[in-house]
Structure 1
Amino acid sequence: MEPSPDAGVTRRAVSPAESRRASRGWWDGDADAYQAEHGSFLGDVDFVWCPEGLREADAHLLGDVAGKRVLEIGCGAASCSRWLKSQGAEVYASDLSAGMLRHAAAGATRSGVTVPLVQTDATALPFADGVFDVVCTAFGAVPFVADSASVMQEVYRVLKPAGRWAFSITHPMRWVFLDDPGEGGLVAVHSYFDRRAYVEEDGHHVPTYVEQHRTLGDRIRELVGAGFVLDDLIEPEWPEGHDLTWGQWSPLRGRIFPGTAIFVATKPA
């Protein structure tokens, strides 16, 4: 949620079409800079859930994926998908942005670990019903979709019975504060209950970046409304010795309140 120098910034409702166009354009345009800044932290074949550095290799939120069919939505450069394949899973990596998928292809070339790449909207997945054992995303898709309840419904549709759905997002309470990794980011300035999207606009008031806010209760209701059973909600603590500053994430803020929420849910058998 960092504004570009020329952007007008507001909080307002946006349509699904506006949100989709903004996300595709933003991530296509920002893909190179994002990968240059964060690629070394994320790795080529690694599954990092969040800026706090929690790794799936340690957290085991997806369970044993060997022999499982897995879909990653909002995959970005697909380092998580390549790690999952290295663990014996059959993996498909999807993203709305062609620019990010270009980096996914480059990561496959560098690492020698390849997975099928699919350009798609997370609200209209091009897969049959009940074909995946696991669906996951680390900060992908969910925060950028106007109708995120429809993402939950689509994930539910493509999962097999007893399938697992896990996703990480910016912790909803972070929306109360400014995106400042320093002391300015410790002061509450916004209402937690203001669900209007954060929007950056061009000079014609066309959204160029959109990020959606939902409360913790909203997210749980989206999951339950789609049919899921919530298994766990993880709020990673800031680890000792971790001195990374990533946008609004910093040791100062991370030691006081959570920056990430990870939801783990199951489709009933």
Structure 2
Amino acid sequence: MTNPTDEPLAEAGYRDVPHAAGGAAGRRWWDANAEEYLAEHGEFLGPADFCWCPEGLREQDARLLGDVSGARVLEIGAGAAQCSRWLVGEGVAAVATDVSAGMLRAARRYDAATGLRTPAVQADARALPFASGSFDVAFTAYGALPFVPDTARVHREVARVLRPGGRWVFAVTHPVRWAFPDDPGEGGLVVTRSYFDRRPYVELAASGAVLYAEYHRTLGDVVGELASAGFVLDRLVEPEWPAGHDRIWGGWGPVRGARLPGTAIFVSHLPG
């Protein structure tokens, strides 16, 4: 992938870095790598399809958002807004947000290609530019949460912009995966790290600049943050790897997928 600072990658590993540096790296990285990412994964994701995870679970089958007819729906960390665009095509009032200008430029191209106009706003998930109680449902499919050091702020912001009874659904790398190497083959089946080691995976330049940061939370961490923000957890969905699905996506693939969960999808709501 492209280096967002023009500094060469000097080292990578699990280490603590200042929150400000780690949190800022995500925007630069996605701006630099949006086109390459979509060239690799765009066909699988589709320009207007709602895919929750590398396992290929689609919202048209899972219906994790519930009945969204007549609802206002917010997507956080939308990338090129493929999921929101699918909702718009279904007649849903959806708004997509992402911190990356590069991804939102791609979203406009997808709008032109599909003929669907998807409202999109550039925004940090930790400071959403919407009034309190503006939405009925919020969701993210691997967006925002892995790339910020302070996910509790995201959950609190989502709680703020949702109406009472609102639903919050989000997909992330299954926390168990962090104990294993990021290898889709047999090498990824042997534990090499402590599940309780919460240091992020970071890539650094020789100057010490953070080029990329991705953060780990245990299942207990996620549930605790949800509860602190006022949410009630309804379901934890762990999609199984489907038979005949041979696509490799980073550390995801049929070898590990047959033995280990790769994705965790949390379905929660605010009390009414």
Question: Shift in Å at residue 3 of structure 1?
Answer: 11
Find the aligned partners of 1:88 and 1:230 in 2 and give their Cα distance.
Answer: 28
Question: Shift in Å at residue 7 of structure 1?
Answer: 4.2
Question: Shift in Å at residue 158 of structure 1?
Answer: 0.3
Question: Shift in Å at residue 84 of structure 1?
Answer: 1.0
| Corresponding residue of 2:226 | 223
- Show structure 2 runs of 5+ residues with no match: none
Find the aligned partners of 1:165 and 1:147 in 2 and give their Cα distance.
Answer: 17
Find the aligned partners of 1:67 and 1:31 in 2 and give their Cα distance.
Answer: 32
AA in 1 matched with 2:50: F
Deviation string for 1:16-48 (max 9, x for gaps)? 321232101100111010000000000011100
Question: Shift in Å at residue 223 of structure 1?
Answer: 0.3
| Corresponding residue of 1:254 | 257
Deviation string for 1:48-94 (max 9, x for gaps)? 00000000000000012121101101000100000111222111110
The one of 239, 264, 269 equivalent to 1:266 is: 269
Which runs of structure 2 are paired with 1:1-269 in the superposition (5 Å)? 6-269=9-272
Work out whether residues 2 and 33 of structure 2, in 8 Å CA contact, stay in contact via their aligned partners in 1: no
* TM-score when normalising by structure 2: 0.96
AA in 1 matched with 2:64: L
Taking only the aligned residue pairs, the percentage that are identical comes to: 59
- Show structure 1 runs of 5+ residues with no match: none
AA in 2 matched with 1:29: A
Find the aligned partners of 2:193 and 2:19 in 1 and give their Cα distance.
Answer: 24
Find the aligned partners of 1:129 and 1:158 in 2 and give their Cα distance.
Answer: 4
AA in 2 matched with 1:134: V
Work out whether residues 9 and 203 of structure 2, in 8 Å CA contact, stay in contact via their aligned partners in 1: no
Question: Shift in Å at residue 12 of structure 1?
Answer: 2.0
| Structural RMSD (CA) | 1.4
Deviation string for 1:163-183 (max 9, x for gaps)? 000000000010011111111
* TM-score when normalising by structure 1: 0.97
Work out whether residues 11 and 198 of structure 1, in 8 Å CA contact, stay in contact via their aligned partners in 2: yes
Find the aligned partners of 1:250 and 1:164 in 2 and give their Cα distance.
Answer: 30
Work out whether residues 12 and 201 of structure 2, in 8 Å CA contact, stay in contact via their aligned partners in 1: yes
Corresponding residue SS for 2:156: helix
Question: Shift in Å at residue 15 of structure 1?
Answer: 3.2
Work out whether residues 15 and 146 of structure 1, in 8 Å CA contact, stay in contact via their aligned partners in 2: no
